Amino acid sequence: MDVILFLIFALIAVACAINVVVQTHPISSALSLVGVMGSLAILYLLLGAEFIAAAQVIVYAGAIMVLFVFVIMLLNAGAETRKGRSYLIPGAPLLIVFLGLVAYYVQRMFPSSTMVRFGGFTGGGPKDIGHALFTTYLLPFEVTSILILVAIIGAIVLARKEIE
């Protein structure tokens, strides 16, 4: 059951990811990206990380992508015109070679005995995540929050009107 669900949602994720690049209209690309985020959330859920799955949907699919779609709608971006498909001739073989290499090295570096087992992971609840964030990873967590704060202040400084 786990494997079937994994295959279904992995396929959906890959198909949506390809669709992001293939689509000519920005809205269609953005919505495909939402599909990728959603199927990734279900993959997290299958692995037993329910908090990360919920956070994935709330933050990525629900907040960031809504802003993307909002900006695309606001700027009223139209479909891009595309000249031929000649880029496929060098691109497609290169992509296949690259993916093959990645698959090969993943297989070499992580032998199948240490691969992730469905449901074998139990550290994905809100309590475990919170505990890990505020003990083991306290410094990266605080540094990240300061980084985000700096980004927010920078955005406000850039966006506000000039005061003479």
Partner 1 sequence: MQLLDSFIFITLLKAAVVFGVLMTTLAYLQWVERKVIAHVQVRPGPYRVGPHGLLQPVADIIKLLTKEDLLPPYVNKPLYLLAPFLAISMALLSISVIPFGPTIQVGPVTTWMQLTDLNIGVLFILAVSSMSVYGIALAGWASNNKYALIGGLRSSAQMISYELPMSLAIAAPLLISNTLSLRQLVEAQSGGIFNWNILHGPFPQVISFIIFTIAAFAETNRVPFDLPEAENELVAGFHTEYSSMKFASFFMAEYANMITVSAMATLLFLGGWMAPWPAAWGSSLVPTAIFAIAGATALYHGANAARKRDKLTLPVFGIIFLIIAGVFLLPMVQSWLLPLFWFAGKTGAILFLFIWVRATLPRFRYDQLMGFTWKFLFPVAMLNLLVTAFLVAWTTK
104-134: burial string, b at 16+ Cβ within 10 Å, e else: eeeeeeeeeeeeeeeeeeeebeeeebeeeee
51 binds partner 1 (CB under 8 A): yes
Return the CA Rg of the chain.
20
Query: In the bound complex, what is the minimum distance in angstroms from residue 68's beta carbon to partner 1?
Result: 11
- Please say which residue, 17 or 55, places its beta carbon nearer to partner 1: 55
Coil, strand, or helix at residue 92? helix
13 binds partner 1 (CB under 8 A): no
Q: Which of 8, 22, 67, 149 binds partner 1 (CB under 8 A)?
A: 67
Query: In the bound complex, what is the minimum distance in angstroms from residue 35's beta carbon to partner 1?
Result: 11
- For residue 102, give the amino acid letter: V
18-51: burial string, b at 16+ Cβ within 10 Å, e else: ebbeebeebeebbbbbbbbbbbbbbbbbbbbbeb
Report the site for partner 1 in 97-126 (rule: CB under 8 A).
Answer: 125-126
Pair 124, 47: CB distance under 8 Å: yes
- Please say which residue, 17 or 69, places its beta carbon nearer to partner 1: 69
Query: In the bound complex, what is the minimum distance in angstroms from residue 152's beta carbon to partner 1?
Result: 13
Query: In the bound complex, what is the minimum distance in angstroms from residue 25's beta carbon to partner 1?
Result: 8
The tokens 């850039």 sit on which residue? 158
Binding residues (CB under 8 A) for partner 1: these are 27, 31, 34, 50-51, 54-55, 57-58, 61-63, 66-67, 69-70, 73-74, 125-126
